[in-house]
Amino acid sequence: MNLKLLLLAGVFLFSLGEEGRAQPSPALAAAMAPLAEGVPEVAIERLQGFLAQNPAAAEQTLARKKLAEALLQAGRPAEVLTLFETPTLTNDEEAVFVHGQALAALERWQEALPLYQRVAANPGAALRVEAMFGAGQALQALGRRDDAIRQFRALESNPKWTVRVRLRLAQLLIARGDLVAANQLLREIKPQATTERNEKRFLFGQLNFVQGHLEKAIETWSVILKKPEGVSHSLLLATLFGLADAHLKAKTPESGDDALEEFIDHRPNDPALAAVFAKLDELYRMERKPSTNELERWENDPAQPRQALAQWYLARSALRSGDREKAIARLTQLRDSPVRLASLGEADLELAHLHLAGRSGDLTVVYEPYWIDSETGTSHGTPFGYDARVPLFLFGKGIASGEVPRDRGSRNHALSLPRQSRDFDLGCRQNSWLRDCIGTQAGSCDK
C-alpha cells in the first residue's frame, strides 16, 4: 500500500493562537473571525481585502500569517508559498512553521523538515511541540523510520500528545515489521476522539493485512466505511485502498469494487479520483466477468473529472476485450475534449501506441555476450562468435584424421549428417569439405 495514503490524517493543522499578541484592530479581528468559526474560504476573502488596504506593518504580518493558515485549512497550500516571499515572515517562527505545513501538505517533505526542525530547536517557541510532531511526520514520509520513531518517542510522555504519537509509532512499527510490538502498543492506546478511534481501527486492519488475516482486515476496514463520520480524507483513501488490496490478495475482486464505486459516485470532483479509478481498474482486470455498467453511467454524466476518467477506463476495457477500434474512438474523443488532467497524459500515450501498432518495424533484442533468454539452452542465434560458430566432429570408420578450418552454414552441416544412410552420396557430392574429411578411404562418391 502507498505510504502517502497511510499517513493517517495527513498533515495536522494547528491554529497559531493569540497568546502574547497585541489586540488586533476591529477590522483585522473581523477578517480573522471566520477562520475560528471554521469557514476558511470566507476568511481568505476578508483577509485579502484587509491586506489590499495596506495596513500597518505589524497588522500586515499577522494578517499574512492568518491568511496562510486559512489557505491551508481550505486545502490551497500552493498559494501559501507565495506569501513567504515577504522578508518580514522569514524570521517569524510562527510563519516558518506555517511554511513547513504548506510544504508538507504539498508532500515536499525534504523542504519541510528543516523548517520544522528550526522551530523545534527553540525551547521557547510557542509551536515547538507541534514542530517536533511535524518533523516526525516528515521523517516518516521520507522513509527514515528509526529517526521518526526517536522523534515521536520524545513526545510520548506529553499527555496532550500521547495518543496521537502512539498511533504514529504503531504505524511505524508495522512498517518496520515489528508486528508484536505494534499489536501491543495498539491495545494500550485508549483514544477518545472519533478521528483517533478510526485511526486505531485502521491500523488494526493494516496489522491483520500484513499478518495475512485478510478476512479480519476486510471486516475491520469495512466498519470505517460504514460510519465515515469524523474520517479524514487521507484516512478514507487509505481505507479504500487497503480494502481493495485485501480483496485483490484474497482473489475476491467482485466483492471489493463496491466501496470504490460508491466513493466515485459521491465524489465526482475529488482530487484523488484518478488514483481511485486506477485501483478500481485493478479489481476489474481480475474479475471473471467485469461489468462496464458503472463506467458507462459515469461517462454519460457531465461531472468532471469523473466523466473523462470513466471514458479512459472504458477504452481500456474495450482494448482488453479485443475491440481496438472502439478503444481508439474513445481515446480520440478524450484527447479532443477540453478536460485537462495530468493523469490523462498516459491516455494520450496509449492512443499513440494504438495508432503506431501496425506501422513500426519489428523489434529485435540483442543481449549482452553470454546472456540468453531461454530456459532450455542456447539456440546459437546470437551474433557472437562463441555462439554462432559451432565445431562439428566426425569420427568413425572411413573418417580421415585432420582438421578442415572452413565456415559453413547450418544447411551444409545438415547435408553431412546422412553419412550412414543411402543419401550419403548426396552429402558427399555437395560438400567439398566433407570429401576432404572422408578422403579416399571412404570410397568414391560416384558409387
Q: Are 285 and 357 within one domain?
A: yes
Give the max Cα distance, the chain: 123
Nearest to 271 by CA among 46, 133, 107: 107
Q: Which of 332, 363, 394 is the last residue of a domain?
A: 363
Q: Are 407 and 352 within one domain?
A: no
Q: Are 276 and 353 within one domain?
A: yes
33: cell is 473571525
Is residue 101 situated within a structural domain?
Answer: no
The answer to which of 7-11, 40-44, 119-123, 167-171 has the lowest mean pLDDT is: 7-11
Residue 17 buriedness (CB in 10 A; 0-12 / 13-18 / 19+) = exposed
| Host domain of residue 271 | 265-363
Q: Are 354 and 273 within one domain?
A: yes
Residue 404 buriedness (CB in 10 A; 0-12 / 13-18 / 19+) = middle
Is residue 339 situated within a structural domain?
Answer: yes
Is the distance from CB of 240 to CB of 279 less than 8 angstroms? yes
Is residue 300 situated within a structural domain?
Answer: yes
Backbone phi, psi, residue 400, to 5°: -75, 150
Q: How far apart are CA 50 and CA 29, in angstroms?
A: 10
Question: Above pLDDT 90, what percent of the chain?
Answer: 63
Can you give the pTM of this predicted structure? 0.72
Does the pLDDT at position 435 exceed 60?
no
Peptide bond into 391 cis (omega under 30): no
* pLDDT tens per residue, range 299-334: 999 999 999 999 999 999 999 999 999 999 999 999
Is residue 327 situated within a structural domain?
Answer: yes
Is residue 168 classed as helix, strand or coil in its secondary structure? helix
Is residue 389 situated within a structural domain?
Answer: yes
pLDDT of residue 3: 39
| Domains identified in the chain, total number | 2
Is residue 289 situated within a structural domain?
Answer: yes
Is residue 292 situated within a structural domain?
Answer: yes
pLDDT of residue 16: 53
Q: Are 323 and 405 within one domain?
A: no
Q: Are 322 and 400 within one domain?
A: no
Mean pLDDT of the region 368-395? 75
Q: Which of 302, 332, 363 is the last residue of a domain?
A: 363
Is residue 157 situated within a structural domain?
Answer: no
* pLDDT tens per residue, range 323-376: 999 999 999 999 999 988 888 999 999 999 898 876 766 677 778 888 877 767
Place of cell 486506477: 278
3-state helix, strand, coil in the chain (%, to 5): 65, 0, 35
Helix (H) or strand (E) holding 217: helix 214-226
Q: Are 333 and 413 within one domain?
A: no
Q: Are 396 and 357 within one domain?
A: no
* pLDDT tens per residue, range 270-305: 989 999 999 999 999 999 999 999 999 999 999 999
Q: Are 342 and 281 within one domain?
A: yes
What ranges make up the beta strands (E) of 176-323?
none
Residue type, 57: A
Is the distance from CB of 133 to CB of 161 less than 8 angstroms? yes
Q: Are 390 and 427 within one domain?
A: yes
Nearest to 62 by CA among 111, 119, 20: 20
Does the pLDDT at position 19 exceed 70?
no
Q: Are 359 and 391 within one domain?
A: no
